[in-house]
Each structure stands twice: as C-alpha cells, then as structure tokens.
Amino acid sequence: MTTRDPVSPPNRNIDSAPNPRTERGTGLFGAYWRWHFYASVLVIPILGMLAITGLIYLLRFQIEPLLHRDLMVLSQPAGMPRPVPLSAQQDAVATAYPTATIRTVTEPGGPDRSTSFSVELPDGAGRDVFVDPWSGRVLGDLDPDSTLSGLAIRVHSELLAGRWGDHLIELGACWAIVLTVTGYLLFWRGRRARRTRLARRVRSALLRNRHAWVGAIVGGGILLLILTGLPWTGIWGERVQQLATDRGTSLWSEDHGALSDPASTLDESLPHSHRAEIPWGAGKSEVPTSAATSDGAVANLDTAVTVAVRAGVTGPMTVALPTTDEGVYSVIGYAFNDPGQERTIHVDRYSGQVVSEYGYGDYPTPAKVVAQGIAVHEGRRFGVLNFWLTFAFCLSVIFLCVSGPLMWWRRRPARSGLAAPRGRLPIATTWWIAAAVVALAVLLPLFGASLLVVLLVDRFLIRRIAPLRRWFNVSP
C-alpha cells in the first residue's frame, strides 16, 4: 500500500524551492544554495565539457588505434626478430614527404604498433606520419588536431576559441571552487532534510540524495583537478609563472635543448613542458649544441638511440631531431606513469657523444610539483589505479552536470522565472565568509573581477527592477 504525503497541498509541487528559514532553521542554507545555484549556471556547461573531453583524452590510446587501425596497428612478421633501423624509416619518411621537416620520432609502444614521425609541412601545418617498423613502409599520415582526441584536447584547453576560450575555462574553474565549497556546505547542513525526504518518498528525493553523495565523493577531486589545471591558464598561470620567473624559478620543466614543436598530441612519452619558451632561471640554462669534427664523422638517429640505451634511458623513446648544423639529437625517455623518471640526453650529431643531460632532478621545485600534478590530472601518475579513478571521476562529473539541471527542472514551479533559491550571503556581517571571499578574489583575479560584476549587477540592477526581482527571486 502506498502512502500519501499529508502535508502536500493540492496543485503544489512538493519539490519546489523550500523556505530555508522553515525547512533548515537558518537563512545561511538558502544563501549557500543560491550561490551554489548561480555558480552552477556558469560552471555546468564548462565542467561537463571538460569531463567529456577529458574522458576522450584519457581513452586516446584505446580510441585512436580503433579509429585508425590501418595506420597504428600491425602484425610482426614471422621470423623477423628486429625491426628496420630508425634511420632507414626516417629516410622513407623524407622520401615520401620531401618538403617536410621531420621534428620528432617516437618508437613503437609494442611489436604490433607503428613508428610515429612528427613532421612540419612548408605551410607550418603538422602531421603525424606512421611507418611500419618491420618493412620500413610509410603507412600514411594524420593531422593530429583533426583526430578525435586531438579535437578533444583543443576543446578541453581553449574551446576552439583561442585565448578567449582559455579565459572562459579559467572563469569556469574559478567558480567551480564556489560550486564545490557551497556543495559541501549544503551536503552537511541538509543531511537531516534529505533523510526525511527519502523516508517520505518525496518526488526527486532519491535523485537529490544521489547528487549530494556523488558530489561529496568527487568534490575533492574537482578541487584537485582545478588546482592542477590552473598552471595551464592564460591569466592565473601566466601571472604565477611570471612571478616564478622573476625569482629565478619556473612552473615548467623547460629544457631548451628539447623543444620540439610541433609535437604530436598523441605522444604519450614527452614531458609536459609549456608550449611557449620560458627562459626560467633568467636564461641560465644553455642550449646544447653540436660541434663539427675534423674527420667529418656524422652520427645518425640510430647512433643517438644506441647512446641513450647505454645511458639507461627507458623506451619507447622519443627523439627530437636536429634542424640546424649545430643542433643535437634530444632523446627523451619514457616516463608516462612517473614524472620522477623524466630524463633527456642530448647527443652531438657529429661525434655521437652525450653533450648534456636534463631530468627531473634538474627541474626547479615548482616544476616538480606541477609535473606530478599534471600526471595525476591526466590519470597516469599511479598507473591503472589512477586511470580507473579518473575514468570514474569523469563519469561522476557528467552525472552531476545532468542531475543538477534535472533537479532544478522538477522543482521549478510554473511561471516562476529562474526559480533561484532565496537567501543573501552575509558577507558584510560575517567575518569568515568575507575573509574567504576576499582571499579567493585575490588568489584568483578572474574570479574577483567576475564576482565584483555579479555583486554590482545584483545591487544596482536586479534588486531595483521589479520584473528582474521576480525573475531572479530576490527581495528589494
């Protein structure tokens, strides 16, 4: 037998916006809910996009071989224990693309994978060229930006809108902090009301409870992802990097000898140096160079890899090729799961001798922290565990981005405008709230500027125009 809610009046949606004073016993709950609501309006589209594109990028090594099997997947011929030398594969690429400049080469990740060459065309466009390592045959090429994962990472980083897209993502990340903090406050202060609603089988109570618990579980992960993603941003990241540079350090592991733009977006082995050249340490890091020998001895790609193997560099390796007579072969070791193993050796293109080395131990302290944070951010720092946790995290964020608007839609009464929860945050009268808001605004300038705009619009526009007051559900 089903029971009917005895307090539900006719023609009233029981899940409509409650009065925070009667339901929660404090007006602060309504204020937290209102800020959570407004933050979600901005954050949900951005956070949902980041979760979807991040999930695609996480699965790029599973997705791309399926989509481009003819280029990336092959079979090792019977009775052929060794692949064709890399230098011969390089010659095949140079023959197939005579006007292109070969920038990097990445060894196959297994016997059933192709060798990847990153080349630059005369017009500046980049291509990933794939070669069968067992036959030396060029299989074809891809524009790395046109692949599904390449497109995903471009949307993830700048919404395909350049610097303005980057700023919008940074703005969303700033307000996601507000969304997460207010979400935790609502989770704690609303715990009894959720249990009551569940017991009474109120409409949407189950969805609200699941939304609350999923948010509580992944909220810390959202804050961690924001923290590890901020160094990439165009305002906060550039500002902090400039402060670091002025003090002779850097957020980034910048090895001037291993700059290899354009590098493939599918390359899993390259350390995550910043795309723009940043002379950390006031330019104290010298660019390694090659010196021509009197006997004219010339080392090649195979020589560089052999020297790197003897030096203990782990494979599959990526080699940035010299593009000038003074250039060096920069052999970058595989350190996908552990940035602490990142290591690059620079090999003289004439003598085949190691000119210099650069590794994690040489990074400035902030760069070490950022490198570890990025590895966690990309779901690779702790191997399979990090991968599956990141996979589950992305799905959970997508659930939050869907369930939030669905709850709003179900509780929104007809002809009620935006149906925002009521409540003012007592910034002026509550010192700890004021301190938290000021600290956040100072640490995140974009958040501070947007918050000022929101407060001015609320004070001088919304609260003074009756239709807007009704739409935004505020008191004059």
Q: What is the pLDDT of residues 110-143, one digit of tens each?
A: 999 999 999 999 998 889 999 999 999 999 999 9
- For residue 6, give the DSSP letter: T
pLDDT band at 4 (very low <50, low <70, confident <90, very high): very low
The letter for the amino acid at 474 is: V
pLDDT band at 256 (very low <50, low <70, confident <90, very high): low
The letter for the amino acid at 185 is: L
Q: Say if residue 61's pLDDT is above 80.
A: yes
pLDDT band at 415 (very low <50, low <70, confident <90, very high): low
**Residues found in the chain:** 476
**What pLDDT, on a 0 to 100 scale, did the predictor assign at position 274?**
31
In angstroms, rounded to a whole number, what is the distance separating the alpha carbons of residues 352 and 408?
A: 66
What is the separation of C-alpha 108 from the centre of its chain, rounded to a whole number of angstroms? 25
**What pLDDT, on a 0 to 100 scale, did the predictor assign at position 115?**
96
Lateral strand order in the sheet of 343-348: 138-142, 126-131, 115-120, 101-106, 318-320, 328-332, 343-348, 354-359
What is the separation of C-alpha 135 from the centre of its chain, rounded to a whole number of angstroms? 37
**What pLDDT, on a 0 to 100 scale, did the predictor assign at position 43?**
95
Find the range with the poorest average confidence among 15-29, 191-205, 418-432, 442-456.
15-29
pLDDT band at 246 (very low <50, low <70, confident <90, very high): confident
b/e string for 243-277 if b means 16 or more Cβ within 10 A?
Answer: ebbeeebbbbbbbbbbebebbbbbbbbbbbbbeee
Scanning the structure block, which residue is given the tokens 């160094």? Answer: 231
The letter for the amino acid at 87 is: S
**What pLDDT, on a 0 to 100 scale, did the predictor assign at position 470?**
83
**What pLDDT, on a 0 to 100 scale, did the predictor assign at position 121?**
93
| Helices assigned H by DSSP within 190-265 | 191-200, 205-229, 236-246
Q: Say if residue 284's pLDDT is above 80.
A: no
For residues 424-438, average pLDDT: 80
Torsion of CA 262, 266, 268, 269, to 10 degrees: -30
| Helices assigned H by DSSP within 332-411 | 365-377, 383-411
